[in-house]
Chains A and B, each alone.
Chain A
Amino acid sequence: MPTLNFTPNLRRHVETPAAPVKGATVRQVLEMYFQVNPQVRGYILDDQGALRKHMAIFLNQELICDRSDLSDSVQENDDIFVAQALSGG
């Protein structure tokens, strides 16, 4: 089952426990996760369901290609990491 992890910077605002989550695409994995952790959705996705402008999702250490529909395919043992784009010095 794919494993979903989040930047620790989110923990100040909302609980984001790492979890193995079923799904064949990044979208499916996130939607499954949001069923258990509904409050996390708004921190990751915007009103239209796209990845927030300054957030990033790594699939096996590579940035995903589809930030709007999150259609990148996910395999059984993949690692998904949700991060924020840090700025400033």
Chain B
Amino acid sequence: MGNSLLVGTRKGLFRIERDDVGRWGIAQSWFLGDPVSMALAEPGSQRLHAALDLGHFGVKLHRSEDAGETWTEAPAPAFPPKPDGLEDKDPMQGIDLPWNTQLIWALETGGPGELWCGVIPGGLFHSSDGGDNWALVRSLWDDPRRQKWMGGGYDFAGIHSILVDPCDLAHVTVGVSVGGVWSTQDRGANWRLIGSGLRNAYMPPEKAGDPLSQDVHRLAHCPANPDRLWMQHHNGIFLSDDGGENWRELHDVPPSSFGFAVVVHPTDPDTAWFIPATKDEQRFPVDARLVVTRTRDGGRNFEVLHQGLPEEPAYDLVYRHALDISGDGERLAFGSTTGSLWISEDQGDSWQSVSKHLPPVNCVRFELTT
């Protein structure tokens, strides 16, 4: 159903809960004062993960086995020693690429005890023991094309989207900003760069269709039909019916096809939601009118949803991980850079404001244990 959600913010992690009469509010808080870049509630268990970005002191992972009653620090994904003399430079800046985890940007479950973690500067890590040990996925990191990945909003490239195929847990697809879409069929032993049909407008025209230079803002799939992928791209909205091999661009999406977040209905692959912003440097709602867009027909038509969202000018930006949908597809929640949080209980037809005073929101995730 989705009666509670985790909200990771620049100043801590919050649990938001629904009471018996349908009001949502802050129920618990943890790590107050510390940036939480990602949170994960493992489905069907009481296990939670929180990724902290402590700045001076580095990136940390904390884990709870009792739904947040207690937390303990767990090992954070760390890069292996960089070989002496290895030339590994950021292509945009010409400086040495740090073999250091700078931000945990994606955290997903796979099979039992299996976790995948995407980080800046572009590493993908895998754990087969619930996060007690992490290993850099060398097959992807050592691919020479990885050295052509580049930073988008951050100084270095990062993996922000990890899609584990529920029908085949060895099939994993990741989205990279900026580095395109990569897919493995064998749990990370081998990778293919996919993404025919994607288009960028920020490279020389001859490179517009280059799969490697695509700035994927967020990837989402329909769990009931995992070959149907939706993408919020720097350039617009794209759709794939074959697991990301081929994409088609959706044009004339009102009021803008620029944004960061996308979610897909868990059983209806034609239904997806986006939160548009002004393309591309300005990054606030078009005409300062905060709306959510929804398609129910595979992108042929989009509805602009705003009931319950601010009537006054609003300058909220919603990051790529700050929109989520409940397991039954009925409820959605999103948080903004200006610390607002909204929830819908009717697939986005109407929204209720939960708070206008949270710290800037990094991620929102429904807990599937409730």
Which residue of chain B has the shortest Cβ distance to A84 in the bound complex? Answer: B56
Q: Does B191 contact A (CB under 8 A)?
A: no
Q: Does B55 contact A (CB under 8 A)?
A: yes
Residues of chain B within 8 A (CB-CB) of A60 are none
User: Please, how many residues of chain B have a CB less than 8 angstroms from a CB on the other chain?
Assistant: 17
Residues of chain A within 8 A (CB-CB) of B79 are 47-48
Which B residues between 38 and 61 are near A, CB-CB below 8 angstroms?
54-58, 60
Q: Does B76 contact A (CB under 8 A)?
A: yes
Which residue of chain A has the shortest Cβ distance to B54 in the bound complex? Answer: A13
Which residue of chain B has the shortest Cβ distance to A42 in the bound complex? Answer: B58
Q: Does A39 contact B (CB under 8 A)?
A: yes
Q: Does A43 contact B (CB under 8 A)?
A: yes
Which A residues between 50 and 79 are near B, CB-CB below 8 angstroms?
52, 54-55
Q: Does A85 contact B (CB under 8 A)?
A: yes
Q: Is the interface of B mostly helix, strand, loop or mixed?
A: loop
Residues of chain B within 8 A (CB-CB) of A55 are 56-57
Number of A-B residue pairs at CB separation under 8 A: 39
Q: Does B100 contact A (CB under 8 A)?
A: yes
A59 and B79 CA atoms in complex are apart in Å by 28
Residues of chain B within 8 A (CB-CB) of A48 are 79, 81-82, 99-100
User: Please, how many residues of chain A have a CB less than 8 angstroms from a CB on the other chain?
Assistant: 15
A46 and B78 CA atoms in complex are apart in Å by 9
A14 and B73 CA atoms in complex are apart in Å by 9
**Contacts A39-B73, A42-B76, A48-B81: A85 and B57 contacting too (C-beta < 8 A)?**
no
Q: Does B127 contact A (CB under 8 A)?
A: no
Q: Does A10 contact B (CB under 8 A)?
A: yes
Interface centre among B76, B80, B99, B100 (most CB of A within 10 A): B100
Other A-B pairs, 15, CB within 8 Å; known A10-B57, A85-B56: A13-B60, A42-B58, A42-B78, A46-B100, A47-B79, A48-B79, A48-B81, A48-B82, A48-B100, A49-B81, A52-B56, A52-B58, A54-B55, A54-B56, A55-B56
The 7 closest A-B pairs by CB, nearest first: A54-B56, A47-B79, A47-B78, A43-B57, A84-B56, A47-B100, A46-B100
